[in-house]
Amino acid sequence: MLRAMKHTIWIGTRKGLFALRSDARRRTWRLAGPQFFGHIVHHVVQDPRDPKTVLVAAKTGHLGPTVFRSSNRGRTWKEASQPPAFRRAQPDETPKAVDIVFWLSAGHAGERGTWYAGSSPAGLFRSEDAGDTWAPVAGFNDHPMLNVWVQGPGTPIGQLLHSVRIDPRDARHLYLGVSSGGVFESTDGGADWRPLNSGCAADFLPDPEQAYGHDPHCVEVHPARPDRLYQQNHCGIYRLDRPGERWLRIGTSMPRRIGDVGFPIVLHPTDPDRAWVFPMDGTSVWPRTSIGGKPAVYHTSNAGKSWRRLDRGLPRSQGWFTVLRQAMCADDREDRLGLYFGTTGGEVWASTDEGGSWRCLASHLPEIFSVTHAR
Amino acid sequence: MVTQVASPLRSYTDGRATVEAAGATVRELLADLDRRHPGIRFRMIDEQDRIRPHIRLFVGTAPVLDLDRRVAPGERLHLICALSGG
C-alpha cells in the first residue's frame, strides 16, 4: 500500500515553500510552488500520525515568526492562532522574544495533536492542538541553568534549538540540541533537563570535558532502536548507545582528508547501523562547502566503524555545495531507500538507490533550508 | 480611525491597504485591529510588547515609540515595514 503512494519532497527556502512530487516509482518529479512566496521557511514537517497535516515554520524579513498549518497535505493553509512565544518577562528579567521558529517535531505517536517547536533565541514550545496554539515549555525556557548552559550568540541567526526528539517508547523522554549549548535530555516530559554531552569535542571551549556549551548540528534517535542516537556535531560525528552516557566519535573513521564536519545526518528507517552524512570543509576560516569542490555523501552500514563515499552523478569539480541540517532526508522505501538533499545554492538532488547514484531534480531555487519527505 | 497597512500585512486585511480600527491609544487601536484581523498584531508586536525591529508605527507623521501614545480623532495610524532586504 505504502509503495503505491506518491512521494512529496517539501522544500523550505529563503523565499517560500516548494514541493517536488513524484509517482510511486520516484522516476518523474514535478516541481510545484512557490507557496508563501517571499516568506522565509525554515522547516516543513508532515505529521506521521496524521499524514494530511503539515506544519510550516515561517517568517518574513519584516514580520514576526509564525507557524502555518495544513490539514489537506498542503493544498490550503491556516496560520496558528497563537504562534510560539516566550512568556512575559518579569521586571527583573531580560525579556526574550522568538525571532525565528526554527524547528518542528511531531509529538509522540500516543499523543496525537502534540507538536514541539524550537526557536531562536533558544526556546522550546509545545502544542496540543495540531499546531494551532503553542505554549512555552517552562522546564527548559525557565531552567535555572539555561543561561549557564547556553551562552554566546550561537549561529549567525542566533542560538538555535533544534532536533527535538521523542522516545517512541515514552512520550516523557525527550532530547534536543542547542547550538552553543549542547544536547539535553528530559525524562519527565520537559519539566527538567540535563546536559548529555560527555565525549563530544568542543574545540572552541577551554575545558575539553565541559558538560555543556557544545555545538550539535543535528541529533537523531533511531526509530527502531531508540536507545541509539547519532549526532552530527560542529566537531565530529558521534554515536551514543543508552544507557551509556558518553558519546563515541565515529567520525574518526572518515578519511582524514574529508574529516567529519557537516550539518545533517540521516538514518535508515529500520536499520540502526546505517546512516548518511554530507561532509563539509571545516578548515581554516570554515568555508562550510563540499571539500575541494567535490560534493559527496558518506555512508556507514556498521554504525560508524567505516564509511563509504557516494558521489556518482554529483559534480566532479567546482561543486561548492552547502547542505544545512534540515535539508537532507530519506523517504520510506525500505527496499531501495531514497535520499534527498537541498543546497544553499538552490539545487535539490536525489538518489533512489540509497546514495549509489544521484541526479539533480531542481535548480535555480532560492537558498534551501529544509528538505523533508512526505507521503 | 483609518489605519494604513503596509503590503506585507495585507494578507490579514483581505488585501485592503486601509482599514478601520477604534481606540484612544495605539495599544487600543492595535487590539481592535487584531480583533477584526486576527493574528496581525503579533506580526508587528512581540510577546514583550515591543514593536518588532523592522516595523515602524506612525500616528500622522509622528513615530510611535510608546504603545500607550494617545491618538486624537481624525488622526491616521500607519503600519510601516521598515527596510529589510536580502
Q: Is residue B59 part of a domain?
A: yes
CA pair distance A373, A327, nearest whole angstrom: 10
Give exposure, A204-229, as e/b (b: 16+ Cβ within 10 Å): eeeeeeeebbbbbbbbbbbeeebebb
Specify the pLDDT at position A334. Answer: 78
Cell numbers at residue A40, please? 522565509
Q: What is the tally of structural domains in chain B?
A: 1
The tens digit of pLDDT for each residue in A57-91 reads 999 989 999 999 999 999 999 999 999 999 999 99
Specify the pLDDT at position A168. Answer: 98
CA pair distance A71, A365, nearest whole angstrom: 26
> Percent of chain A at pLDDT above 90?
91
The chain-wide mean pLDDT, for chain A, equals 96
Q: Is residue B38 part of a domain?
A: yes
The tens digit of pLDDT for each residue in A113-172 reads 999 999 999 999 999 999 999 999 999 999 999 999 998 888 888 899 999 999 999 999
Q: How confident is the model at residue A14 (pLDDT cuts 50, 70, 90)?
A: very high
Q: Is residue B36 part of a domain?
A: yes
Q: Is residue B52 part of a domain?
A: yes
Cβ-Cβ contacts under 8 Å for A75 (sequence gap 6 or more): none
ipTM: 0.92
A61·B50 Cβ contact <8 A:
no
CA pair distance B15, A126, nearest whole angstrom: 32
Cell numbers at residue A256, please? 582524514
Specify the pLDDT at position A233. Answer: 97
Q: Is residue B86 part of a domain?
A: no
Q: Tell me which residue range forms the domain holding B60.
A: 2-81
The tens digit of pLDDT for each residue in A235-273 reads 999 999 999 999 999 999 999 999 999 999 999 999 999
Q: Is residue B37 part of a domain?
A: yes
Q: Is residue B71 part of a domain?
A: yes
The alpha carbon of residue B31 is apart from the nearest alpha carbon of chain A, in Å, by 15
CA B81 to chain centroid, in Å, comes to 10
Please give the domain boundaries of chain A with CATH numbers for all domains: 96-366 (2.130.10.10)
Q: What angle do CA A70, B11, B37 make, to 5 degrees?
A: 95
Residue B42 sits at the chain A interface (C-beta within 8 Å):
yes
pTM of the model: 0.96
CA B36 to chain centroid, in Å, comes to 13
The residue count for chain A = 375
Cell numbers at residue A205, please? 571551549
Across the range A199-226, mean pLDDT stands at 94
Domain harbouring B69, CATH code? 3.10.20.30
Identify residue A145 by its one-letter amino acid code. Answer: M
Identify residue A71 by its one-letter amino acid code. Answer: S
Q: What angle do CA A48, A52, A57 make, to 5 degrees?
A: 75
Residue B50 sits at the chain A interface (C-beta within 8 Å):
yes
The alpha carbon of residue B1 is apart from the nearest alpha carbon of chain A, in Å, by 23
Nearest CB neighbour to A79, from listed B8, B39, B47: B39
Across the range A346-356, mean pLDDT stands at 98
Q: Is residue B61 part of a domain?
A: yes
Q: How confident is the model at residue A3 (pLDDT cuts 50, 70, 90)?
A: low
Q: How confident is the model at residue A4 (pLDDT cuts 50, 70, 90)?
A: low
